[in-house]
Structure 1
Amino acid sequence: MTFSLGGLFVAAIAYLSLLFLIAHASERGWIPEAVIRHPAVYVLSLGVYATTWSYYGSVGFAANAGITYATIYIGVTLAFALTPVLLMPLLRLTRRHQLTSIADLFAFRFDSRAAGILVTLMLLTGSLPYLALQIRAVSESTQVLSGESPPHLVAVVFCVMVTGFATIFGARHVTPREKHSGLVAAIAFESLVKLAALLLVAWLAVELAFGGPAGLGDWLVDNPDRLEAFQAGAASPEWTGLIFLAFAAAFLLPRQFHMLFTENLQDQGMRTASWGFPLFLLLLAMAIPPLMWAGQAMGLSTPADYTVLGVAGESGSAAVVLFTYLGGISAASAMIIVSTLALSSMCLNHLVLPVMRITGRQDLYRTLRWTRRALIAAVIAAGYLFYLSLERTEGLVSWGLISFLAMAQLIPGVLAVLYWPGATRQGFVSGLLAGGTIWGVAALLPALSTMGPIRIIGLDLSVAQSPAHFGALAFWSVATNALVFTAVSLLTRQAPRESEAASACREVSTRIPAGSVIAESPAQMVDQLAPVTGLPAARAEIAKGLEDLDLAWTENRPDRLQQLREQVRRNLSGMMGPVLARDIVDECLRLDADSRSAVAQNVRMIEERLERARGGFQGIAAELDALRRYHRQILEDLPLGVVAVTPAGRIARWNPAMDQMTGISAGRALGRSMIELPEPWGELLSGFIGEDESHAYKRPVVLAGGTRWMSLHKAMIGAPGGTPNGDRLLLLEDVTDVQRLENELAHSERLASIGRLAAGVAHEIGNPITGIACLAQELREDRADDHARQILEQTERISHIVQTLVDYAHAGRGEASTRPEPTALQPVVEEAERLVRLNPRSRGIVFIPRLPGDAAVMADHQRLVQVLVNVYSNAVDACDPGGEITTVARLQRDGVSLRILDTGHGIPSGIRDKVMEPFFTTKTPGHGTGLGLALAQNIISNYGGSLRIQPRRGRSGGTEVMIRLPRAQITDREVEPVHG
């Protein structure tokens, strides 16, 4: 089946336009974020690994080398099986330091511009043939379907379309913190298309050639030579080498590194990919043998590399053929788009920016964005030129293996990044040059040569172009690389910054910063950075750093400004590469060389690095770290507040006990001057540290919840080297409970003295009162005078008051001298009101009783009158003339609630909890003793009731006194208690 060139051209443009639409919909949020961020989408995006080699060339590879074709999938599966020890550490490292490419990784680890340049050039050289391979596959697949000569116009239009897509959706952002969700979604869709197309054609191949799976089995039985030829590849000695090449390509190919690490959104995606991506590859690999055998059985005239298209053509369905053709377009376009993005980033950071003049007058972001877009176009154009020069010198698989071999040269360096902190930049560069030279001479040069076999020192290098020999070449080139790398590293020494980078790669960096930041605020850092990046970019980068660290623009703590400086360096690294970012930060955000000050001010930063390094030490270092943690835990668990203050007056230690005492977290306190702490703590601590005395006892601290008492102690800690100008240590002890116990003891002593006084008063007053009572009784009997009766009642009341005072003084809370008995409330209220009205101030107050006639309680009549007189007297004092005092009684099942409500000024909230305390009064001396409410509460509690005071509900002023007592039942002739 043949198609017109125009029809294929339109189909390719329509498909690429669909990719544009998917990417645009993702960027605009039309596709739900939950879909875009799903791990399955991330796994499918890794399908960029499967290029036209996997889609077309694997069938040709299997036809020539048999089951050896599976090595390309097995190697990748092994790499993903090592996710916990290989891919996850690389992900954490690239994310923490914002490394966007494999060249950035090595430039950061070895602190070497040369390392970044060499890796970039090697990857660019190794990738250009692979880019040309994709263009050639599109061109040749179009020729297979159209029957016309290689349509270069299709190749040109294809390159223009993928260039537009890559520049629009792959270079939208200049920082790796902003992921290209549209790109990821489009690449995932392409992976789905090529997988579906390959599986569909494989199924059709079995049906068309054999009538089904059973027919395929019968054909293999009838043609055992076909199966034997396929299985013969299992005995190939190059399996190990080819698996190793695929293992390296799984994460070191620029496109794989970009999708694995740079576009990664979350750790869960990587964990899912550890099994999901090998499953994807398994489905691809399973389709290859049926396609190969079907092509052989059907006697297709198409080249073996394009068996997929030949089988689709035999189906007789134009839709199937076009779908298969678009699967090839997917494989080629995905590889070119992602590879050029990764390569353009490396070229920008390591080839262009180091020689590019950037001034503060430029828009840094715009400059970087358009420079990168230009590089994307240049790389694709270079791939197209390479495609024109390739002609048909090699098959798809050979060029793929040549690129894989280039990536394999980076394996020794990756292992050193993760697991060999002693490796040096000289060793890495030397080893890469040695291995790269073997690769270039023995693999790349023969493939490019059009002058026949190449012989060096009598060796025919043209045999290296056979896939069966790439395994041996991989062994010798990488082994030479590793040997040179190791030998040179052992003979050279690391520079200090390289050593620090090596520690950072293993998350055990404990180096003390070389100084403190000269800038005293983020605003000053903006001014210092602006001459190089421009003011808008400087402000934006400082703002990003503050947001990342959750800091404010008002931040002035030296250790936090040091952290901000490091964060800005990491953010710039994502845009400009680690070497240039470090140079800019070192030049603009300079450090003070006063190392003593730096050590004191950056204690917290050192602690945080040591915490991150847990488990990264060995031997004596691990033992010392364990001892440090033990001593630190002692300070953390100490019930005393511990504050360490640097000579510059900055807080370097703030333990959890201080958090609890002050309500100020360690994050807010550390690094600040003590005077910056919220009151009253700033004044308390800074004032004490300036005193000559080393101890201060029971200093009151007024807080929102009341006054607390603190004892403070201080000592000097010697500085490193034994100099006396070291940190100062403050200890704070909350002695509030001790102070309250002492106050209660003194109060108890006063109460005891009052008790002794009351006993004496009762003894001295008792006899005169008895005499008055006797005379009043005689006067009442002689004259039957009502005044005599009242005198007798008042003398009895005085006796009750004195006895109550004696009871309270004797027992603190006391026991009632009289037993409770059923008492009607109405007479009690009336008598209390009558007594209070004897006070001239009460004559302008309105008393409103609202009492049920049968309201009665279990109490003593006279004691209850005493309670209400105290409550009414306080209410009268609180009310203005014309005020009201309402008494409301409510019967309950087993009790009676009595509410006394006034319209006075109320009780201030600050003293509401103290009004029931003995001797507490707000009245002027001579107008109140502070015992009335305390005695009233004591009487009520003795009868099993409760007394509570609260603001009056529904009014802005006024007080409500709630008294609850056990209920008694009044009958016609008597009053009986009620039992609940």
Structure 2
Amino acid sequence: MGYNLGGLFLAAMAYLLLLFLVAHAGERRWLPRRLIRHPLVHALALGVYATTWSYYGSVGFAADSGLTYITIYLGVTLAFALTPVLMLPLMRITRRHQLTSVADLFAFRFDSRLAGVLVTLMLLAGSLPYLALQIRAVAESTRVLSGEGNPQSIAVVFCIIVSVFAIIFGVRHVTPRERHDGLVAAIAFESVVKLAALLAIAWIALQLGFGGPSGLDRWLDDHPQQLRAFYAGAGGPTWAGLTFLAFAAAFLLPRQFHMLFAENPQESSLKTACWAFPMFLLLLAMAIPPIMWAGVALDVGLPDDYTLLGIAALTDSSLMVIVAYLGGISAASAMIIVSTLALSSMCLNHLLLPAMHLAGQSDFYLMLRWARRMLIAVIIAAGFLFYLTLARTEGLVSWGLISFLAMAQLLPGVLAVLYWPGATRQGFIAGLLTGGAIWGIAGLLPALTAVGPIQIVGVDLAVAASADHFGQLAFWSVTANGLMTLAVSIFTRQGVREGETAAACREISTRVPSGTLQAQSPYQFVEQLSPVTGEPAARAEIGKALEDLGLAWGENRPDRLHQLRDQIQRNLSGMMGPVLARDIVDECLQLDADSRAAVAQNVRIIEERLERARGDFRGIAAELDNLRRYHRQILEDLPMGVVALTPAGRIARWNPAMHTLTGVSAGKVLGRAMAELPAPWDNLLAEFIAADSDHAYKRRLDLPGGIRWMNLHRAQIGDAEGDLRADSLVLIEDVTELQRLENELTHSERLASIGRLAAGVAHEIGNPVTGIDCLAQELREQRPDEQRLEQILAQTRRISHIVQTLVSYAHAGEHRPHAEPRPTRLQAIAEEAEHLVRLNPGARSMRFSHELDEALEVMGEHQRLVQVFVNLYSNAVDACGGEGAITTTAKAQRDGIQIRISDTGPGVPASIRDKVLEPFFTTKTPGEGTGLGLALAHNIIEEFGGRLKLNNRRGRGAGAEVVIRLPYPQTLEQQANG
């Protein structure tokens, strides 16, 4: 067409530099992270599926096979419609076990290095023609536009640039498990470019060829043979076969698998892609028929694959030609970049690293980076060499279908990974070899050589293979593959490790560490792994594993160290493949011989796995799991603490009641030794376990919240053969409230005894006091003017009054029927209570003030009201520390007599104001108070129909104030008379 080759070259270079800029902006976070990681951006990045085949070749495919071209899009749509049962399960497996490629997936599932090698070789063989196809499309499109006879120079430069791009933006991280945001942004950008270019050419085709959409309808009415030819290919075996091939390619092509799972930020992205990506493909597919028919109507005179370039050239617009050309560059470069990244990872993990001697690399990560860079360059160079050997007679679609057919051989294996745990590695390898042989002989070989038509089971192995040929070949090859996989799997058995990985793929991991780790800390893991990876890489990998699990470098719990070991293996799997990672971990992070305590040490691991697998249990297994949960819940719901200890003295069970008692959650102590518990629980358990008795009563503990008392009980746990699963089960019962009640009752009994003793002492004192009084009176009659005798008599009367008051107060506390309430003078009650309180030496410095009307009476029982005032005065004295004032006032109100007893102490804290009236509540130290005084006063006042309330005073000298409200005597009489 005469377009300048230099101009096309500059346009291609400018576009690829723009791609560099987009990727660089993504890596440097110049583009918002929320934008790059948006689910729709990920869906656009999946547009790497649409290569030059979709951009150029679909027009030629539609021209040859009509509507059959749509199968390449329908198969992908069907695969994404099955996201819940296909894509999501695969994503969970790959993310959980750090599997970054299709070869990793099968090597892990079948625990076979050979499986990884065969899958890598199959994918490499199937992808090289596809890579060559992209290079050829770029070269051919350049030749078509420039008219140059040999555009290999631009193909060479194109390969170099995409190689540099893939190396710079695809090997930035050590492991492919880490997302490459810049790469994803660039691939999404390329999807937008090729979609926009294709839609623009389709619109121009409608305008140039038919004058608009309505003109296309008229042209089709005038050329009915075009519609008949277009619909002739719909339906039938070929349609089904090609849809099946596209279904397999949707997620098994290396580039698709990489973008779907390795570069997927989250599950929500996949859920968005299940509808957004088919919509993207629908828009691509809609552009094909107008371009194809416009090529016929305009007679562009180019091969059908490059019709859209001819239509762009008819516009006489260099810009439109450049846009169409760059759409093809975009499609080719995206496919080559992502495919080589995925293939280089597979080749490194399954071909190169197993053949290398890994021992103490000075910079392990640098070695991995350079190995991947080298492989990327080698794979693109191999694709270029393959391009040089391609026969130009083969259409773009034929080479694409050859690659799709190679991917389809992995479908039986995918079904085994997801839904057939009984499949064996021997069955998978046999099926893959069978299907691969048929693909190589009937698909790849005829395209590479000039072999004439050959008939095998009805399949024509022609050089120029047709869509019908690939449809039949897909059926026969995959059927043979599946049948061989089934037959061999039935007659072979899985190994132990293969059975474990099969269960792990269904998230039913049955493997429990059967031995004890030689390493006792993460630091020892570093020492053991360093001989292979070098010390810096070992430290970095173990640090990453600790971060993944939320553990610290000081971790020493056996179950958590086992989990750390598994996480290290998963992380290494992302760098070097699952089989090699397992071999390295087994060799370096070794286990000792089986231990009796292994099951007990890993109770938490077992329970976590059973929790994840709950929905997969059926029949008796489900019933046993329910029984296990029931028994476990009994321990969890016990109102007393439960601690299970392993033979090594580590904690295997810590129920919620223990969390309540200690304030330490189960997650912080499970797997730890008793000595690591916070004080005083470490000594409590250690001493009890060391003791001979299985019971300990009323052990006192000084805790931050106060003193508490515990009863402990122990039981030995073991099976019939004495194989202890947990050495001891300890039950801890908090008996603090019971102990306090016993103490208070004992103290109350002691007070009652003192009261009875006081009554007896008063009686005994009364006799000599009476004698002294009589003698003093006789002496006074004999010597009436003697002043000293009057003083003796006054003192004896004082002693008698004190004795009578003590006797009355002692009797007031006895359990006897109370006298009926009667009018009682309030001033007499207050003065008698003051007199009793002043017997305490600590109250002699207190100032008492009774601002009471002598005639004011309340309804009650004298001695019991005295008891109320004594308790209130005693509390006020204690609050004031013996130095202060106590004021008692009273006044008559409409609803009764209001009495206020206030002091000059510090008042009552708001935090305990609601508790001070509760029985046995006291802020005094043990032995100084019972906590019953205010409670008894409150009950007595309520018994007399009154109310008692505790407040704090306001203003200067503020203290506590007790407000008592008692009814008038006449009010009670009126209530009685009714």
- In the alignment, the residues of structure 1 paired with residue 931 and residue 763 of structure 2 have an alpha-carbon distance, to the nearest angstrom, of 23
Change (3 A) 1:638 1:929: closer
What's the TM-score once normalised by structure 2's chain length?
Answer: 0.86
* Paired position in structure 1 for 2:166: 166
* Paired position in structure 2 for 1:114: 114
Establish whether residue 38 from structure 1 lines up as the match of residue 45 from structure 2.
no
Establish whether residue 874 from structure 1 lines up as the match of residue 873 from structure 2.
no
Contact 1:645/1:651 (8 A) holds in 2: yes
Establish whether residue 945 from structure 1 lines up as the match of residue 948 from structure 2.
yes
Question: Following TM superposition, by how much is the alpha carbon of 1:422 offset from its aligned partner in structure 2, in angstroms?
Answer: 1.6
Question: Following TM superposition, by how much is the alpha carbon of 1:536 offset from its aligned partner in structure 2, in angstroms?
Answer: 0.9
- In the alignment, the residues of structure 1 paired with residue 770 and residue 695 of structure 2 have an alpha-carbon distance, to the nearest angstrom, of 60
Matched position secondary structure for 2:520: coil
* Paired position in structure 2 for 1:189: 189
Amino acid at match of 2:28: R
Listed one character per residue, the Cα deviations across residues 408-443 of structure 1 (whole Å, up to 9, x for unaligned) are 000111111111112111111111111111111111
* Paired position in structure 1 for 2:62: 62
Contact 1:808/1:935 (8 A) holds in 2: no
* Paired position in structure 2 for 1:83: 83
Question: Following TM superposition, by how much is the alpha carbon of 1:203 offset from its aligned partner in structure 2, in angstroms?
Answer: 2.1
* Bigger Cα displacement from structure 2, 71-80 vs 681-690: 681-690
* Paired position in structure 2 for 1:249: 249
Contact 1:921/1:929 (8 A) holds in 2: no
Contact 1:209/1:298 (8 A) holds in 2: yes
- In the alignment, the residues of structure 2 paired with residue 893 and residue 345 of structure 1 have an alpha-carbon distance, to the nearest angstrom, of 94
- In the alignment, the residues of structure 2 paired with residue 815 and residue 376 of structure 1 have an alpha-carbon distance, to the nearest angstrom, of 106
Residues 445-594 of structure 1 correspond to what in structure 2 (within 5 A)?
A: 445-450=445-450, 461-462=461-462, 465-594=465-594
* Paired position in structure 1 for 2:971: none
Matched position secondary structure for 1:31: coil
Matched position secondary structure for 2:47: helix
Change (3 A) 1:397 1:857: farther
- In the alignment, the residues of structure 1 paired with residue 750 and residue 571 of structure 2 have an alpha-carbon distance, to the nearest angstrom, of 70
Contact 2:842/2:882 (8 A) holds in 1: no
Amino acid at match of 1:947: L
Change (3 A) 1:643 1:64: same
Matched position secondary structure for 2:493: coil
Structure 1 gap segments, 5+ residues each: 777-782, 970-980
* Paired position in structure 2 for 1:10: 10
* Paired position in structure 2 for 1:977: none
- In the alignment, the residues of structure 2 paired with residue 772 and residue 310 of structure 1 have an alpha-carbon distance, to the nearest angstrom, of 142
Question: Following TM superposition, by how much is the alpha carbon of 1:457 offset from its aligned partner in structure 2, in angstroms?
Answer: 11
Establish whether residue 331 from structure 1 lines up as the match of residue 334 from structure 2.
no
Matched position secondary structure for 1:83: coil
- In the alignment, the residues of structure 2 paired with residue 72 and residue 953 of structure 1 have an alpha-carbon distance, to the nearest angstrom, of 89
* Paired position in structure 2 for 1:131: 131
Change (3 A) 1:918 1:92: closer
Contact 1:762/1:803 (8 A) holds in 2: no
Amino acid at match of 2:198: L
Identity %, equivalent residues: 64
- In the alignment, the residues of structure 1 paired with residue 206 and residue 923 of structure 2 have an alpha-carbon distance, to the nearest angstrom, of 102
* Paired position in structure 2 for 1:976: none
Contact 1:393/1:448 (8 A) holds in 2: no
Change (3 A) 1:841 1:696: closer
Change (3 A) 1:808 1:295: farther
Question: Following TM superposition, by how much is the alpha carbon of 1:282 offset from its aligned partner in structure 2, in angstroms?
Answer: 1.3
Question: Following TM superposition, by how much is the alpha carbon of 1:731 offset from its aligned partner in structure 2, in angstroms?
Answer: 2.4
* Paired position in structure 2 for 1:370: 370
* Paired position in structure 2 for 1:223: 223
Residues 581-980 of structure 1 correspond to what in structure 2 (within 5 A)?
A: 581-719=581-719, 721-723=721-723, 727-750=727-750, 753=753, 806-807=811-812, 870=874, 873-874=877-878, 877=881, 900-902=903-905, 944-947=947-950, 960-965=959-964
- In the alignment, the residues of structure 2 paired with residue 913 and residue 766 of structure 1 have an alpha-carbon distance, to the nearest angstrom, of 42
Establish whether residue 409 from structure 1 lines up as the match of residue 377 from structure 2.
no
Question: Following TM superposition, by how much is the alpha carbon of 1:868 offset from its aligned partner in structure 2, in angstroms?
Answer: 7.3
Contact 2:77/2:278 (8 A) holds in 1: yes
- In the alignment, the residues of structure 1 paired with residue 20 and residue 822 of structure 2 have an alpha-carbon distance, to the nearest angstrom, of 96
Establish whether residue 48 from structure 1 lines up as the match of residue 63 from structure 2.
no
Contact 1:870/1:932 (8 A) holds in 2: no
Contact 2:206/2:216 (8 A) holds in 1: yes
Question: Following TM superposition, by how much is the alpha carbon of 1:274 offset from its aligned partner in structure 2, in angstroms?
Answer: 1.5
Matched position secondary structure for 1:728: strand
* Bigger Cα displacement from structure 2, 638-647 vs 722-731: 722-731
Question: Following TM superposition, by how much is the alpha carbon of 1:245 offset from its aligned partner in structure 2, in angstroms?
Answer: 0.4
Change (3 A) 1:471 1:770: farther
Question: Following TM superposition, by how much is the alpha carbon of 1:176 offset from its aligned partner in structure 2, in angstroms?
Answer: 4.3
**What is the aligned length?**
946
- In the alignment, the residues of structure 2 paired with residue 959 and residue 720 of structure 1 have an alpha-carbon distance, to the nearest angstrom, of 72
Residues 311-326 of structure 1 correspond to what in structure 2 (within 5 A)?
A: 311-326=311-326
- In the alignment, the residues of structure 2 paired with residue 934 and residue 617 of structure 1 have an alpha-carbon distance, to the nearest angstrom, of 59
Question: Following TM superposition, by how much is the alpha carbon of 1:791 offset from its aligned partner in structure 2, in angstroms?
Answer: 12
- In the alignment, the residues of structure 2 paired with residue 758 and residue 519 of structure 1 have an alpha-carbon distance, to the nearest angstrom, of 73
Listed one character per residue, the Cα deviations across residues 581-632 of structure 1 (whole Å, up to 9, x for unaligned) are 0111011100011342323322322222222222323444344333333333
* Paired position in structure 1 for 2:304: 304
Question: Following TM superposition, by how much is the alpha carbon of 1:833 offset from its aligned partner in structure 2, in angstroms?
Answer: 11
Matched position secondary structure for 1:237: helix
Residues 151-162 of structure 1 correspond to what in structure 2 (within 5 A)?
A: 151-162=151-162
* Bigger Cα displacement from structure 2, 712-721 vs 515-524: 712-721
Change (3 A) 1:795 1:520: same
* Paired position in structure 2 for 1:347: 347
Contact 1:44/1:188 (8 A) holds in 2: yes
Amino acid at match of 1:85: V
Amino acid at match of 1:186: A
Listed one character per residue, the Cα deviations across residues 891-926 of structure 1 (whole Å, up to 9, x for unaligned) are 99998987644589x99x99998999789897999x
* Bigger Cα displacement from structure 2, 717-726 vs 262-271: 717-726
* Paired position in structure 2 for 1:428: 428
Contact 2:941/2:966 (8 A) holds in 1: no
Question: Following TM superposition, by how much is the alpha carbon of 1:793 offset from its aligned partner in structure 2, in angstroms?
Answer: 11
Question: Following TM superposition, by how much is the alpha carbon of 1:740 offset from its aligned partner in structure 2, in angstroms?
Answer: 3.9
- In the alignment, the residues of structure 2 paired with residue 931 and residue 425 of structure 1 have an alpha-carbon distance, to the nearest angstrom, of 79
- In the alignment, the residues of structure 2 paired with residue 185 and residue 923 of structure 1 have an alpha-carbon distance, to the nearest angstrom, of 71
* Bigger Cα displacement from structure 2, 487-496 vs 733-742: 733-742
Question: Following TM superposition, by how much is the alpha carbon of 1:451 offset from its aligned partner in structure 2, in angstroms?
Answer: 6.5
Contact 1:642/1:731 (8 A) holds in 2: yes
Contact 1:123/1:407 (8 A) holds in 2: yes
Question: Following TM superposition, by how much is the alpha carbon of 1:73 offset from its aligned partner in structure 2, in angstroms?
Answer: 0.8
- In the alignment, the residues of structure 2 paired with residue 61 and residue 20 of structure 1 have an alpha-carbon distance, to the nearest angstrom, of 32
Change (3 A) 1:93 1:820: farther
Contact 1:442/1:464 (8 A) holds in 2: no
Listed one character per residue, the Cα deviations across residues 102-148 of structure 1 (whole Å, up to 9, x for unaligned) are 00011111111111111111101110110111111112222233233
Amino acid at match of 2:962: I
- In the alignment, the residues of structure 2 paired with residue 820 and residue 150 of structure 1 have an alpha-carbon distance, to the nearest angstrom, of 128
Question: Following TM superposition, by how much is the alpha carbon of 1:192 offset from its aligned partner in structure 2, in angstroms?
Answer: 1.6
Question: Following TM superposition, by how much is the alpha carbon of 1:841 offset from its aligned partner in structure 2, in angstroms?
Answer: 8.1
- In the alignment, the residues of structure 2 paired with residue 850 and residue 155 of structure 1 have an alpha-carbon distance, to the nearest angstrom, of 113
Structure 2 gap segments, 5+ residues each: 778-786, 969-978
